[in-house]
């Protein structure tokens, strides 16, 4: 499926806002063509990146005092696993819903979009945490990453697949085309000594199971990684949009010209996270960021990729989510992003 955003803008997910409607209003005013629902990671620990998608998974333990979660795989989990897989086999999406306790943002955005006429919308974007990141970050009762438990690794993949489909179902009746990001920030550490036992083929297969299911729902799929990684992994996993921190790692996409060139020619797009999600936003302007983006595009084109194709397949985003920032800086990021997008499209 070909995607030509031509410098339209969208966001990654997290916001520091305590109020969901305020975050939704910011999104709709700055990224009106590709709005997305906000993750309010400071408002409640249940909206943190992995925990937000844990409802419906078996053997989950939420520790409110420490604001974290783990799996308790001790004892005999067969009954809990059996119930889980019954809902998977029955294709019971509602069982895998994200309730308002785990996401104020998705429910607030659904309500706003249902009651507001917004002719500017071209796509609605959702996001889920990728199975590799979830599996390597969340641990069991022995503090061992759940990724290394083959039974529960499959649970994670199946649950995230159902969550992604549920997100798409939430907005389907509005009639807009949709994008769902399967975010894998852990891939920036792929190949390091910490994850030496994580195999490339496994990463691709786990991601592809989720990505194929989203494609079957008729949506585009993106993946965000906020550091450097082996970008062809995402191509092999079948994504339509590669999202990366182009502010800090703008050169890295050009390390793989053959694969990225073929990816763009086959209809893929690159989301350039050119607006910094740090205090460095105070040192930048739409003009300075346009120049930085231009440099990245020129370096990629110098590798033999048609420059017009790169520009046609260019989506603009912040370099990462703005959840760790102050509300003021987060709003600065999105207003700068909006002005950059408008100026490039003019």
User: How far apart are the C-alpha atoms of 123 and 76, rounded to whole Å?
Assistant: 44
Question: 148-192 pLDDT, tens per residue?
Answer: 999 999 999 999 999 999 999 999 999 999 999 999 999 998 877
User: How far apart are the C-alpha atoms of 141 and 250, rounded to whole Å?
Assistant: 39
On the 0-12 / 13-18 / 19+ scale of CB atoms within 10 A, 260 is: buried
Return the pLDDT at 90: 98
Write out the H or E segment, with its range, that includes residue 125.
Answer: strand 123-129
Q: Rounded mean pLDDT of the chain?
A: 96
Domains and CATH numbers, the chain: 20-345 (3.20.20)
Q: How confident is the model at residue 1 (pLDDT cuts 50, 70, 90)?
A: low
The rounded Cα 232 to chain-centroid distance in angstroms is 17
Residue 134 has pLDDT above 90, yes or no: yes
Return the pLDDT at 129: 98
Owner of token pair 């706003």: 112
Q: How confident is the model at residue 271 (pLDDT cuts 50, 70, 90)?
A: very high
Would the CA dihedral through 131, 136, 138, 144 be positive or negative?
positive
Q: Provide the 10 A C-beta neighbour count for residue 324.
A: 14
Residue 2 has pLDDT above 90, yes or no: no
Residue 145 has pLDDT above 70, yes or no: yes
CB 5 within 8 Å of CB 314? yes
SS3 188: helix
Owner of token pair 């709709």: 28
Q: How confident is the model at residue 242 (pLDDT cuts 50, 70, 90)?
A: very high
CB 260 within 8 Å of CB 270? yes
Question: 283-320 pLDDT, tens per residue?
Answer: 999 999 999 999 999 999 999 999 999 999 999 999 99
Return the pLDDT at 193: 79
What mean pLDDT is predicted for residues 16-30?
97
User: How far apart are the C-alpha atoms of 344 and 69, rounded to whole Å?
Assistant: 43
Q: How confident is the model at residue 198 (pLDDT cuts 50, 70, 90)?
A: very high
Residue of 125, 185, 207, 191 lying closest to 319 (CA atoms): 185
Residue 34 has pLDDT above 70, yes or no: yes
Residue 135 has pLDDT above 90, yes or no: yes
On the 0-12 / 13-18 / 19+ scale of CB atoms within 10 A, 145 is: middle
What mean pLDDT is predicted for residues 225-251?
95
């Amino acid at each position: 499926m070909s995607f030509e955003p031509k410098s339209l803008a969208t966001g990654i997910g997290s916001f520091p806002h305590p109020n969901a409607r305020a975050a939704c209003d910011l999104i709709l005013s700055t990224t009106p063509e590709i709005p997305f629902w906000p993750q309010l990671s400071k408002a409640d620990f249940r909206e943190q990146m992995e925990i937000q998608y844990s409802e419906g998974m078996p053997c989950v333990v939420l520790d409110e005092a420490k604001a974290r979660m783990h799996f308790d795989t001790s004892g005999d989990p067969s009954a809990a696993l059996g119930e889980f897989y019954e809902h998977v086999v029955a294709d019971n999406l509602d069982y895998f819903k994200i309730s308002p306790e785990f996401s104020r943002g998705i429910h607030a955005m659904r309500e706003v979009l249902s009651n507001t006429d917004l002719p500017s919308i071209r796509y609605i974007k959702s996001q889920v945490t990728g199975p590799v990141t979830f599996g390597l970050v969340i641990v069991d009762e022995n503090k061992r990453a759940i990724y290394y438990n083959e039974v529960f690794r499959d649970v994670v993949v199946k649950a995230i697949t159902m969550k992604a489909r549920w997100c798409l179902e939430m907005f389907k009746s509005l009639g807009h085309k949709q994008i769902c990001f399967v975010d894998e920030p852990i891939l920036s550490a792929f190949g390091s000594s910490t994850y030496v036992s994580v195999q490339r083929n496994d990463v691709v297969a786990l991601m592809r199971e989720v990505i194929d299911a989203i494609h079957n729902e008729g949506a585009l799929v993106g993946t965000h990684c906020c550091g450097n990684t082996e970008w062809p992994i995402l191509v092999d996993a079948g994504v339509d949009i590669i999202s990366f921190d182009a502010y800090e790692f703008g050169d890295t996409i050009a390390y793989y010209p053959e694969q990225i060139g073929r990816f763009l020619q086959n209809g893929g797009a690159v989301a350039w996270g050119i607006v910094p999600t740090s205090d460095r936003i105070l040192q930048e302007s739409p003009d300075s960021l346009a120049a930085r983006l231009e440099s990245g595009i020129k370096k990629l084109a110098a590798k033999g990729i048609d420059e017009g194709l790169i520009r046609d397949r260019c989506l603009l985003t912040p370099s990462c989510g703005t959840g760790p920032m102050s509300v003021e800086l987060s709003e600065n990021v999105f207003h700068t992003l909006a002005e950059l997008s408008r100026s490039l499209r003019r």
